[in-house]
Structure 1
Amino acid sequence: MSSVGGMDGSPPVAEFQPTVTHGGRFLRYNIFGNLFEITRKYQPPVMPIGRGAYGIVCSVMNFETREMVAIKKIANAFDNHMDAKRTLREIKLLRHLDHENIIGIRDVIPPPVPQAFNDVYIGTELMDTDLHHIIRSNQELSEEHSQYFLYQILRGLKYIHSANVIHVDLKPSNLLVNANCDLKICDFGLARPSSESDMMTEYVVTRWYRAPELLLNSTDYSAAIDVWSVGCIFMELINRQPLFPGRDHMHQMRLITEARVTHATHPTSPSYNSIPSSSSAHNIAARQVIGTPTDDELGFIRNEDARKYMRHLPQFPRRPFVSLFPRMQPVALDLIERMLTFNPLQRITVEEALEHPYLERLHDVADEPICTDPFSFDFEQQALTEDQMKQLIFNEAIELNPNFRY
C-alpha cells in the first residue's frame, strides 16, 4: 500500500532557544507567545506541530530513550473542574491501555514546583498527521487505504471496549496516522465506562459523529455509540466530506432521519467517477439514505416525549446504500449500513464488524487482542477537589519519572 503524506507542506520554522530554569532541571521556551517548560531530558530543537483551545503541542526528542515524542501542554488545566477531570481521566486511561492502535503515553512531565502548578504536559508517541487533515487534503486515498484505516479503528476499538471503556468522541481528528498508514486512536478525555447507565453530564461530543441515542438523551447508551461514529468516519473517508454535518442538535437529527446527504466528488475520492455530476457543480442532489426509523427501530427509546418527537417527524423512506453508491463494493456498503443502524440494539458490534466479509483480507482474530484487565473508573466516584486532582496527576508524573529529584 502506498503511503500517505504529512500534515502540511509548510517550511520549517526557526529553532526556539531555551532558557535554563529551576536549577538546571528544566528548559523554558517561548513558542509564539506560549510558555513551554519541560525537563532537561528533552533537548532542542523543539518544533510546534499543533495548537488549540487547550494549549500547544510540540515535537521533541527524549535524549534518554532517543525517541521523538509529541508533548501537549494543557494550559491552566485546573481552571475548569470538568477539564481537569478530563485530563486526569486521559492520563489514567492511556497508562492502562496498551495496544498498537491506541496512542501510547510516554510521559507526564513533573511540574517545576510540586502542588503549585497549573499547566500539565503530557508526552505521547509522535505521529505524522490525522484523518481530518488527510480527508481535507489532495492526498489520494484508494479504497484499500480506507479499508485499512477502518480495520485499524475497529481493531483498536475491540481492545478499548474489552477494557470496559467507551471512547465516546471518535472523529477524524482523534485518529492519528503515520506515513506508513499506521493508525492510532487518541483523546480519551470523554471516555466512559461501558457499564454506566447514567447519561454523561459533561457531554460535549462532536455533533457530526453523534449516535441517535445520544441525540435523544437516552440514558441507556452502550459501546454501540462508537460503532455509529466509525460508520460516519468511514463514509467521510470515501466521500471526502462529513456524512451528517448538522448545524445544531435538531438539525443533526433531521439529517439522520431525513438523510439528505450531499456527496462530494473530490478528485481523489474512490467514488469520484461513480457519481454523475451536473455541469454546474461538482456535487449531486441530496438523497435519502437512512430514512425515518420505524416503530421497531424506535423500540430502544424509553422516554415517551422522545418517542412522540420521533413519530411526528416527516416520513422519509430508507434507500439501500447499494442504489446510491453503485460503484462501491456491495459488501462494503452492507457493513456501513449495519454500522449506521438507528437502533443501537440492532447495530453491528465491533467484533461482528471485524468478522464481516469486507474485512476478511485483514481480519485475524489471533492478532486482535483484548484487554484482560478492565479499566476502573472508581477514582471518579468521589467528588475530587482541585487540589486532589492536582495530587493525582502529580502522582502519575512521579510514577513515570521515578528518578526525578527536586
Structure 2
Amino acid sequence: MEEPVPAGKTKFTSGGTTFIVDDRYEYIKKIGHGAYGVVVAAIDHQTNTKVGIKKIPNAFEDLIDAKRILREIKLLGFFDHENVISLLDVQLPPARTGYNDIYIVTDLMETDLHRVIYSRQDLTDDHIQYFMYQLLRGVLYIHSANVIHRDLKPSNLLLNKNCDLKICDLGLARGYDRETENLTEYVVTRWYRAPEVILNSSMYTKQIDIWSCGCIFAELLGRAPLFPGEDYLDQVQRVIGVLGTPNSEDMNFIGNPAARRFISKLPKREKMRWQTLYPKANPVALELIDKMLVFNPEKRWTVEQCLGHPYFQDLHNPEEEPLASEPFDWSFDNFEPTRDLLTNFIYEEALKFHPIN
C-alpha cells in the first residue's frame, strides 16, 4: 500500500524521483539533475508564475553537504538582486527532526551558460558583453554583502531566453573576514581556481571570484575552457603557459616554499598575447580580460574596476548596480553539524515561508 498523500499536498514522479509538495504547485517537466538532486519546472498557482523546485533526497546523509545546503538557503534568503537566483519557498518538513528530504523553490531559469557555450548558438560580442556585465553586477552585490562565492563557473550561471543571467549554487560561499578553516577542500571546480587557491595560499580575498569570472569570459570568447588542468600541477603549468612565469614579487603571496620551488623549476615562459589566443575577439574585451586573469591577486582588478572598464560603457551605470543593504551575518555557520541540529535549522528556515499561527 502506498502512503496516502497528506492533505494540502500533491505527489508526482519525475526522473524516477517522487516529489511531495504543497498543492499550490503543479508539475510541468523535469529540467535537470544537479549534484544534490532533481530539479523540475512547476506552476505556482498562488502567484501564477513558473518556478523551479529542487528536491534534495536524503539530505542529511552527509552532514558537510547538509550544512552547505543550509548555508545556501540562508544566503539566498538574504540576497535580493536581479542577478542572483531568488529563493521563493522552502517546503515545511513534516516535523522539526526525523525527516530526510528538502524541497527548495526558486525562480525558473531555462538553461545555463555552460549549455549555451557548448551549443551551436551564435555568440556575438553583444551577448558576451551582456553576460559578463550581469555576472559582474551580481558579483558586486555578493561581495558588498561580505561574501565570496568561491565556485563561479558556467554551469552555476542560469539563463533564460531573453539572456537574463542569475548566479546560483552558493553552498560553497564564505565570508572573507572569517578564520580560514580548511578553506581549500572544496573551492571552485579546478579549471576556474585562482593561482592562490591552487597553491594553497592562506590569502583568500574576493579576487578569487574575479579570476573565475576571467576564466568564464575566456570560455565565452573561445567556446572552450582556458585552463582545463588534469590535476593541480597541470593547472599551474597551464596558467603559467598563458600568463608567463611570474616574477619573484608576484610570487610573494605563495607562503608554501614547495610551491614556489615547483614554479621556479618550470621552464621559463613568456606571456602569450590575448590577440593570438582569441583573434576574433573585440580588442576592448581582451584589455579587460588582461586585468582579470592576473597571477598576483594583489594586482588583479576588483569587481568595481571591471564594471568601470570601457568594455561596459554602454551598460555600466553605478546607480543601477545595487549593493547589499548590510553585510551577511555568518554567525549561524559556527557549529559542529549534527543531524538534529541541521534538520532543526532547515525547519526554522521553512517556517519563514510557512508561519504557524
TM-score interval (norm. to shorter): over 0.9
- 1:212-268 Cα offsets, whole Å, 9 max, x none, are 10000111111100000001101111111111111111111111112xxxxxxxxxx
Q: Match of 2:200?
A: 217
Q: What runs of 5+ residues in structure 1 fail to find an aligned partner?
A: 1-17, 259-288
Give the counterpart letter for 2:225 in structure 1.
P
Distance (Å, rounded) in 2 between the aligned partners of 1:26 and 1:193: 37
Equivalent residue pairs, number:
355
Q: Percent identity?
A: 49
How far off is 1:114 after superposition?
A: 3.7
Matches within 5 A, 1:266-305: 289-305=242-258
How far off is 1:303 after superposition?
A: 2.3
* Preserved contact between residue 60 and residue 66 of structure 2 (Cα < 8 Å): yes
Distance (Å, rounded) in 1 between the aligned partners of 2:87 and 2:53: 10
* Preserved contact between residue 26 and residue 112 of structure 1 (Cα < 8 Å): no
How far off is 1:183 after superposition?
A: 0.5
Give the counterpart letter for 2:265 in structure 1.
H
Runs of 4+ displaced beyond 4 Å = none
- SS for the counterpart of 2:251 is coil
Give the counterpart letter for 1:143 in structure 2.
D
Matched, 1:247 2:200: no
Give the counterpart letter for 1:227 in structure 2.
I
Distance (Å, rounded) in 2 between the aligned partners of 1:350 and 1:231: 11
Structure 1 residue corresponding to 2:5, chosen from 16, 21, 36? 21
Matched, 1:361 2:344: no
Distance (Å, rounded) in 1 between the aligned partners of 2:51 and 2:4: 21
Structure 2 residue corresponding to 1:310, chosen from 247, 254, 263? 263
Q: Match of 1:68?
A: 50
Q: Which has the higher contact order (CA 8 A, sep 6+)?
A: 2
Matched, 1:120 2:102: yes
How far off is 1:127 after superposition?
A: 0.8
Distance (Å, rounded) in 1 between the aligned partners of 2:188 and 2:4: 40
- 1:162-181 Cα offsets, whole Å, 9 max, x none, are 00000000000100011111
Give the counterpart letter for 2:98 in structure 1.
A
Distance (Å, rounded) in 2 between the aligned partners of 1:53 and 1:320: 37
Q: Match of 1:388?
A: 341
Give the counterpart letter for 1:378 in structure 2.
S
Q: Match of 2:63?
A: 81
Distance (Å, rounded) in 2 between the aligned partners of 1:294 and 1:195: 28
How far off is 1:321 after superposition?
A: 1.5
Q: Which moved more, 1:328-337 or 1:124-133?
A: 328-337
* Preserved contact between residue 20 and residue 27 of structure 1 (Cα < 8 Å): no
Q: What runs of 5+ residues in structure 2 fail to find an aligned partner?
A: none
- 1:314-369 Cα offsets, whole Å, 9 max, x none, are 21111232344344332211110110000000000000000011111111001011
* Preserved contact between residue 69 and residue 123 of structure 1 (Cα < 8 Å): yes
Distance (Å, rounded) in 2 between the aligned partners of 1:205 and 1:369: 25
Distance (Å, rounded) in 2 between the aligned partners of 1:234 and 1:204: 19
* Preserved contact between residue 251 and residue 296 of structure 2 (Cα < 8 Å): yes
Query: Structure 1 length as normaliser, TM-score?
Result: 0.84
